């Protein structure tokens, strides 16, 4: 028996996570247990799920997150591989319930797989998204090679320098990542500091670059969050390809960017 049985909506959410996990592995962005995904699945929760007993003891989140009262999340498991999650999502991830104190959670299905080490960041972000009335349900953290490489260069860590460069490599990037790439200076992985810094940047950006570590993206669903990272990394690859051919790419001109921004009604 699985919590996904006879629940096509919930099963679809988890299948989408598994599909994205496979892409992350294939792209070389998910070495070993690298990266994590959480999805707010509360809209798919019925009375039978609400009545399900816990299969773990209550565990502390590390924050008190009042907007998460009554929420349920599918979370990748800590120390689990994306390439395994792609095939067996309920053996490499689990569904958790936030307890009424909003400071603890428990695992309810299918197996007692402990959630991702970045759970504090992920849940604090979901708390923030709900608080501002956003319809975003998914967050993805991964290690895209070329974007991480760019984060080793000080120039690209200045506000919006990487965003402008990446947008200018191909018109689609601004169209499909219209808020650009926020920058988070290096912080210890899994730390509350990293979570807090990420939330601050998510006010202005859907995708943030964690210096020398990876990216963290949010969107309505896991596929959309993946797409935003994918278009940014594609631009990084075009930039690198040009550099490898021995020249600095011109990039789209300011006029071309402005024309596209108006034509597609994008934010300035
Ligand atoms: O879950 O990528 O940052 C593994 C990580 C932590
Ligand atoms: Zn990471």
117 lines ligand 1 (CB under 6 A): yes
Residue 208 pLDDT level (bands cut at 50, 70, 90):
very high
Q: Is 58 in the pocket of ligand 1 (CB under 6 A)?
A: no
Looking at the predicted structure, is the pLDDT value of residue 205 above 90? yes
Instruction: Please state, in angstroms and rounded to a whole number, the distance separating the CA atoms of residues 29 and 17.
Output: 15
Provide the percentage of residues in the chain whose pLDDT is more than 90. Answer: 98
Of the pLDDT bands very low, low, confident and very high (cuts 50, 70, 90), residue 241 is very high
DSSP string, 79-125: T--HHHHTT-TTTSEEEEEE-TTSSEEEEEESS-PPB-TTHHHHHHH
- Contact predicate 140/35, CB 8 Å: yes
What is the percent of the chain with per-residue pLDDT over 70, rounded to a whole number?
100
pLDDT, one tens digit per residue, over 137-196 is 999 999 999 999 999 999 999 999 999 999 999 999 999 999 999 999 999 999 999 999
| Ligand 2 centroid to residue 191 C-alpha, Å | 11
- Residues around the ion ligand 2 (C-beta < 5 A): 214
Q: By C-alpha distance, which of 211, 209, 205 is closest to 188?
A: 211
Closest approach atom of ligand 1 to CA 79: 1
Tens of pLDDT, residue by residue over 83-134, are 999 999 999 999 999 999 999 999 999 999 999 999 988 999 999 999 999 9
Q: Is 118 among the residues known to form the active site?
A: yes
Whole-number pLDDT of residue 268: 80
Task: Look up the pTM and report it.
Answer: 0.97
CA–centroid distance, residue 32 to ligand 1 (Å): 10
pLDDT digits (tens, 9 = 90+) for 63-84: 999 999 999 999 999 999 999 9
| Ligand 1 pocket member 198 (CB < 6 A) | no
Band (pLDDT 50/70/90 cuts) for residue 57 is very high
Widest CA span in the chain: 62
- For residue 118 and ligand 1, the question of a CB distance below 6 A is answered with yes
Average pLDDT value for the chain:
97
Among 28, 118, 121, 143, say which to mutate for ligand 1: greatest number of ligand atoms within 8 Å of CB: 118
């Amino acid at each position: 028996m699985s919590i996904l049985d006879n629940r096509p909506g919930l099963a679809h959410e988890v299948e989408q996570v598994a599909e994205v996990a496979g892409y992350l592995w294939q792209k070389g962005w998910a070495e070993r247990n690298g990266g994590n995904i959480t999805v707010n699945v509360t809209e798919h929760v019925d009375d039978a799920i609400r009545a399900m007993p816990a299969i773990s003891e209550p565990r502390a989140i590390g924050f008190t997150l009042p907007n998460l009262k009554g929420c349920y999340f599918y979370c990748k498991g800590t120390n689990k591989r994306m390439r395994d999650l792609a095939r067996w999502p309920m053996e490499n991830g689990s569904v958790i319930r936030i307890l009424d104190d909003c400071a603890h959670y428990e695992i309810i299905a299918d197996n007692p797989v402990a959630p991702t080490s970045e759970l504090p960041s992920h849940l604090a972000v979901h708390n923030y998204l709900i608080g501002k009335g956003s319809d975003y349900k998914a967050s993805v953290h991964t290690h895209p090679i070329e974007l991480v490489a760019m984060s080793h260069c000080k120039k690209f860590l200045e506000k919006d320098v990487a965003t402008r460069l990446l947008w200018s490599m191909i018109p689609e990037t601004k169209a499909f990542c219209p808020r650009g790439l926020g920058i988070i200076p290096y912080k210890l992985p899994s730390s509350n500091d990293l979570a807090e810094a990420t939330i601050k940047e998510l006010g202005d950006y859907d995708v943030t670059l964690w210096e020398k570590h990876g990216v963290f993206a949010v969107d309505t669903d896991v596929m959309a969050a993946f797409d935003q990272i994918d278009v940014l990394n594609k631009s990084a690859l075009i930039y690198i390809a040009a550099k490898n051919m021995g020249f600095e790419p011109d990039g789209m001109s300011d006029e071309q960017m402005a024309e596209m921004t108006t034509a597609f009604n994008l934010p300035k």
